Amino acid sequence: MKKIILSITMIAVGMTMANAQKLFSTKAGQIKFNATGGVEKIAAVNNQVDSKMVDKTGQIVFSLLVNGFIFDNQLMKDHFEENYLETTKYSKADFKGFITNISTVDFSKNGKYNVTVDGSLTIHGVTQKVSTAGTLTIANGKPSIVGVFKIKIKEYGITGLYIGEKIASEAEISVDCKYD
């Protein structure tokens, strides 16, 4: 009888281990965008991106404060916040999605994997579906993600005189997050 109890215990513990999900997170991820349309560089960087990822399910979220973007030029930042992104109304932007091929990633050994990410991106209070490719790197059990994708600015309800001129109609967004 004891053997039966023991074996059932083992099985149950084993199941628990197998189901355990690991959560990776960072509060210092980097997201850049470049929307240069003319000669003047229209680009900014945010180094305080909050991101979390789950290894088993591939679920991934990114979140940032829009007024955390740093520009070369204060005036451009003011225009970005007040006239384009309307940060007093929409203070955050986020992405919620899944790494669809997470099963191919082995978190236990070092390596580079091409991953695809599907999800919904919310900017300026407007949510759009986004699908993109990126690279997931495992180094000493810690993952990091880099990826680049483009969005059409007007699809997010952002309006303004210079979109399509000085400001490109598509913004290139680069993501670089190292998780703990």
Partner 1 sequence: MYSLKKPTQTLILVVFVLFLSNKLIAQDIDLFKMQEAQDKKDQANKRDLVTATFKTTRMVNGQSIENVGKGIMDLKISHRFGTVNTGAYNFFGLDQATMRIGMDYGITNRLMVGIGRSTFNKEFDGFLKFRILRQSTGRRSFPFSVSYVATSIYQSVKPAETTYQIYQTDHFFYVHQLIFARKFNDYFSLQLVPTLVHYNIVPLTTSENDLYSVGVGFRQRISKRVNLTGEYYYQINPVTGTYNTLSLGFDIETGGHVFQLHFTNSTGINEKSVITETTGQWDKGDIHFGFNISRVFTIVKPKAMANAKF
22 phi, psi to nearest 5 deg: -110, 135
Interaction of residue 139 with partner 1, rule CB under 8 A: no
Interaction of residue 28 with partner 1, rule CB under 8 A: no
Interaction of residue 53 with partner 1, rule CB under 8 A: yes
Rounded least distance, CB 147 to partner 1, Å:
15
Binder to partner 1 among 29, 30, 49, 151 (CB under 8 A)?
30
Binder to partner 1 among 57, 110, 128, 135 (CB under 8 A)?
57
| Cα–Cα distance, 13 to 175 (Å, whole number) | 38
Q: Is 173 exposed, middle or buried (0-12, 13-18, 19+ CB in 10 A)?
A: buried
Q: What is the DSSP letter of 109?
A: S
Site string for partner 1, 85-114 (x = CB under 8 A): -xxx--xx-x-x------------------
Strand positions, DSSP E, 5-125: 23-36, 43-54, 59-65, 92-99, 111-123
Helices then strands (H, E): number in the chain? 2, 8
Chain contacts with partner 1 (rule: CB under 8 A) = 1-2, 4-5, 8-9, 12-13, 15-16, 19-21, 23, 30, 32, 34, 40-41, 43-45, 47, 50, 52-54, 57, 59-61, 63, 67, 70-79, 81-83, 86-88, 91-92, 94, 96, 160-162, 166
